[in-house]
Amino acid sequence: MIPSNSRSEALKENNIATGSHVPHEPDEPDFAEQRSRLYRGLVNVERAASCTLLVATLALIVLQVVSRYVFNAPFSWTEELARFALLWFTFVSAGFVMARRIHIAVDLLASKLGRTGTVILDTFALTAVVVTAGVMAVNGAQSAVGANRLLAPATSLPMSVVYSAAVTGFMLIFLHAALHIYLNLRHPEVVPDAMENLEREAV
C-alpha cells in the first residue's frame, strides 16, 4: 500500500508524462513531444522558424521606414519581402499552434460534456481539420506548381515560393491534427478539458 503522500508526489512527478496537467509555460512539451524526440524536433523547428520570420518581418519594415523617411531613398524590395515573410510566418506558426493545441477554441459545448463526450467532440473537430487541411494542401500545391513561372515584381522571386507557404502550413496542420486524432483514440486521457484549454491560452 503506497502512502497517500508518496502517491500524490508520484502523480505530481508523472503528470507531464501522462499529459493530464495544464502546462505552466507555453513552451512546456506536450504528451506527443515527451514520447518522440523526432516530433519534438519538428515542433522546435516550427517554433524557431516562426520566431525568425517574425523578427525578419519587423527588421524589413524598420529598414523600409528608415530608408524612406531618414535617407529619402526607399528600397524597392523591402515591402514586398516583408509581406512574403509575414505570409510564411502566419502559416508556419499556425502549424506550431496546432501542435501545442493552444489555438483559440470555443468550449461552450465541451464544458457541458463529460470526459467521453469531450474526446468525441474533439476528435470530430480534428477530423474536420484534417479533411480541410488535406484539401487545401493539395489545391495549394497545384497552385504553387502553376505559379512557378510567375515572378514577384520587386524581388523577382518565383510566386511558387510564396504559394508554398500555404502548402507548408496546411501540411503541418494536417500532420499535427492527424496525430492528435491518434492520441485521442489511444490515449484519451491526454485530451485537454475545456477549462484546461482556457487556462493554457491564458498562460
Contact at 8 Å (CB) between 79 and 154?
yes
Q: Is 151 helix (H, G, I), strand (E, B) or coil?
A: strand
**Helix/strand/coil for 110:** helix
On the question of pLDDT at 21 being above 90, the answer is no
Per residue in 139-192, pLDDT (tens digit) is 999 988 888 888 888 888 888 898 999 999 999 999 999 998 988 888 777 666
pLDDT digits (tens, 9 = 90+) for 66-87: 988 888 888 888 888 999 999 9
- Enter the C-alpha cell of residue 46: 516550427
Q: What is the pLDDT of residue 101?
A: 80
Extract the C-alpha cell encoding 39.
Answer: 516530433
State the pLDDT at residue 175: 93
Distance from the Cα of residue 36 to its chain's centroid? 17
Contacts of 47 by beta carbon, 8 Å cutoff, 6+ apart? 27, 96
Contact criterion met (CB below 8 Å) for 92 and 53: yes
| Angle, vertex CA 41, rays to CA 131 and CA 24, nearest 5 | 85
- Amino acid in position 63: L
- Model pLDDT, residue 20: 45
User: What is the C-alpha separation between 146 and 6, in angstroms, rounded?
Assistant: 63
Q: How far apart are the first and last CA of the chain?
A: 37
Where is 47: in which H helix or E strand? Answer: helix 37-69
